[in-house]
């Protein structure tokens, strides 16, 4: 089946390229890589046809957006940093930008740090731009998103190369985590965003049957977002898409570890805004370290999204309370996959590997724990060990690799290595990896793909978010034990359950203390963009994505009006000031008329109301 779809994908892409040529478009869709698989092959074919259709029928101009020279895989660096880190020891007013594999200087090598005054100015300019943008209709907003989608689908590789250089990920990790999810978010918003934000009429009770009741979704004004480095393209665009479609402006504080890529991606947005004559201050990035983020929290934005650690999330919430700024907190996870003995074994193995090692494990919804039923535990361990041992790690420029580098470098890899060593000392077995290294050039921070088995809930590595390429396998006696282990952590973001018995899988899923769960899958809830994204406990609260996330970018305003002209609410005489002696009796009868169960009580209440 996979071979058939691969062939169909290649055929579809060839057809799409012929349409592009016929349309006079100087671009082509790359052929699907060999053995790219059923799912990815179909995706490439679909996007190929989508792009060709746009070129032929949309009538949209293809915008020329200059990307940095480092977006080319043929780029040859000439300058390198020693002891690379975003902080410059000689100048606290800049962020150093560098390739996470080679420590080659990216761009100018230094980006100015925004002061608190700079942040306040950015928010003020965004507020001016938003007033004009809020007057646009949904079709005008959709057209902006369509231009984004066009550009992304035509420049997937460059987008992924930029992310790879700045964060250390592989190109395939970028394709999954940067491009695919962003395209799906745009697609969902184009199709369903207006419906989610359209004025919604609600039913009234009998007592208010003469009124209409509706909810209107009004733009909040200026959104703020503090985003992490693990997916610089998607984390940026994901917030922009929802904010501007809802009629807001947005100011984003980019991570100091992904400043260069974030600013490169901002060019795409600004060029599209320029094309429509929209003030580019509608979407802005402020750059810096912790103080810049703190300034954004206190800048007077109308709502703030923070994606990061629980510790910093608490500080953000505390600072936001000074202005009572509402916050969305997405604070990471310790996601578990419960693998039952009646699972589709090969599927569970493949998804466990992708869920653990995607983006070198630097995922908030990565699988940090595999909880395997004892009936299939030994088989699972024996199957995983050679596969993890065979994973190739390195820089994409050196060839095909499975895992890249740690974005935060040697310090991050050392921390993970210490967690692994402590787990082994506590009784776990390390069957693959377990060590950090610095790559062929001796500068990057790599943590080898690691397999830890016989892990127990009392071990540190079972309780703390690793955020690295470490697969931890835990044994469960039965379903109840699996649920107990899964719920033994403070986090509660995502989860997975693998079983061919769907009733069993649903029973297990219903007992998990998480904001999201995927049955017989991993992480696909985020590819279902109709669903809200978020967790419970120290994984945070509120949601982005889905209907709820889009509406969260709005003031939900409740409005009533008269259902029938001339029929209006008035205050009955017994309740008019000064209140009459019969006032309470009138209220009592009114309640009985509408809410008493007894028909006789209702009849008496109606009589009393008529005579009071």
Report mean pLDDT in 10-residue bins for the chain, 612 residues. 47 52 51 49 50 55 89 94 94 97 96 98 98 98 97 96 97 96 97 97 95 97 98 98 98 98 98 97 98 98 97 97 97 97 98 97 96 98 98 88 95 96 98 92 90 98 97 98 98 98 98 98 95 97 95 97 93 93 94 96 94 88
Note the Cα 18 to chain centre separation in Å: 35
Structural contact between residues 367 and 334, judged by C-beta atoms closer than 8 angstroms: no
Tell me what pLDDT residue 37 has.
45
SS (H, E, C) 98-147: ECCCCCEEEEEEEEECCCHHHHHHHHHHHHHHHHHHCCCCHHHHHHHHHH
CA 440/CA 141 separation, integer angstroms = 47
CA angle 469, 362, 235 (to 5 degrees): 160
CA 264/CA 69 separation, integer angstroms = 11
Tell me what pLDDT residue 396 has.
86
CA angle 206, 209, 211 (to 5 degrees): 145
CA 542/CA 529 separation, integer angstroms = 16
CA angle 455, 371, 172 (to 5 degrees): 100
The question of whether 330 is a catalytic residue gets the answer: yes
CA 265/CA 107 separation, integer angstroms = 13
Structural contact between residues 589 and 595, judged by C-beta atoms closer than 8 angstroms: no
Q: How far apart are the first and last CA of the chain?
A: 79
Burial class (CB in 10 A: 0-12, 13-18, 19+), 315: middle
Burial class (CB in 10 A: 0-12, 13-18, 19+), 304: buried
Tell me what pLDDT residue 55 has.
46
CA 342/CA 344 separation, integer angstroms = 7
Ramachandran area for residue 394 (φ above 0: left; ψ -120 to 50: alpha; else beta): left
Question: How many CB atoms are closer than 10 A to CB 559?
Answer: 10
Q: Find the catalytic residue in 330, 368, 417, 465.
A: 330
């Amino acid at each position: 089946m996979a071979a058939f779809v691969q062939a169909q994908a290649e055929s579809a892409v060839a057809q799409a390229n012929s349409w592009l040529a016929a349309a006079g478009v100087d671009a082509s869709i790359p052929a699907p890589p060999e053995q790219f698989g059923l799912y990815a092959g179909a995706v490439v074919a679909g996007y190929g046809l989508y792009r060709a259709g746009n070129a032929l029928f949309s009538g949209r101009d293809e915008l020329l957006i200059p990307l940095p020279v480092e977006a080319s895989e043929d780029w040859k660096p000439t300058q390198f940093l020693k002891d690379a880190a975003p902080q410059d020891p000689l100048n606290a007013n800049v962020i150093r930008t560098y390739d996470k594999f080679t420590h080659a200087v990216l761009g100018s090598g230094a980006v100015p740090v925004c002061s608190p005054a700079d942040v306040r100015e950015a928010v003020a300019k965004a507020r001016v731009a938003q007033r004009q943008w809020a007057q646009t209709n949904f079709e005008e907003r959709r057209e902006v998103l369509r231009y984004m989608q066009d550009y992304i689908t035509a420049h997937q590789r460059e987008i992924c190369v930029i992310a790879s250089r700045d964060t250390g990920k592989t190109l395939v990790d970028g394709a999954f985590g940067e491009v695919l999810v962003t395209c799906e978010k745009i697609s969902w918003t184009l199709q369903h965003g207006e419906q989610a934000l359209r004025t919604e009429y609600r039913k009234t009770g009998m007592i208010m049957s003469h009124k209409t009741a509706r909810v209107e979704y009004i733009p909040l004004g200026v959104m703020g977002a503090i985003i992490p480095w693990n997916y610089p393209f998607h984390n940026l665009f994901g917030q922009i898409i929802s904010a501007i479609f809802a009629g807001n402006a947005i100011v984003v504080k980019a991570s100091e570890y992904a400043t260069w890529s974030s600013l490169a991606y901002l060019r795409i947005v600004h060029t599209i805004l320029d094309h429509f004559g929209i003030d580019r201050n509608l979407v802005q990035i402020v750059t810096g370290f912790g103080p810049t983020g703190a300034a954004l929290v206190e800048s007077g934005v109308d709502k703030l999204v923070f994606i990061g650690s629980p510790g910093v999330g608490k500080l953000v919430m505390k600072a936001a309370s000074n202005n009572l700024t509402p916050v969305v907190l997405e604070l990471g996870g310790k996601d578990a996959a419960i693998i039952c003995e009646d699972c589709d074994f090969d599927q569970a193995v493949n998804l466990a590997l992708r869920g653990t090692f995607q983006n070198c494990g630097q995922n908030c919804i990565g699988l940090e724990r595999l909880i395997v039923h004892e009936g299939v535990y030994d088989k699972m361990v024996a199957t995983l060990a050679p596969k993890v041992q065979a994973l190739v790690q390195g820089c994409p420029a050196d060839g095909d690799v499975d895992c890249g580098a740690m974005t935060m470098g040697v310090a991050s890899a050392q921390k993970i290595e210490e967690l692994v060593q402590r787990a082994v000392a506590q009784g776990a077995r390390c069957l693959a990896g377990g060590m950090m290294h610095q790559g062929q050039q001796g500068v990057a921070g790599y943590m080898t793909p690691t397999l830890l088995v016989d892990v127990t809930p009392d071990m540190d590595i079972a309780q703390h978010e690793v955020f690295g390429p470490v697969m931890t396998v835990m044994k469960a006696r039965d379903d109840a034990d699996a649920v107990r282990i899964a719920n033994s952590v403070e986090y509660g973001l995502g989860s997975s359950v693998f079983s061919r018995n769907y009733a069993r899988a649903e029973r297990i899923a219903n007992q998990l203390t998480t904001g999201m769960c995927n049955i017989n899958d991993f992480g696909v809830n985020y590819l279902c963009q109709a669903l809200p994204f978020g967790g419970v406990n120290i994984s945070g609260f509120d949601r982005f994505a889905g209907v709820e996330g889009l509406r969260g970018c709005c003031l939900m305003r409740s409005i009533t009006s008269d259902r029938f002209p001339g029929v209006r609410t008035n205050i009955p005489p017994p309740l008019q000031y000064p209140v009459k002696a019969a006032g309470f009796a009138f209220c009592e009868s009114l309640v009985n008329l509408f809410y008493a169960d007894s028909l006789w009580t209702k009849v008496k209440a109606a009589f009393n109301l008529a005579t009071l």
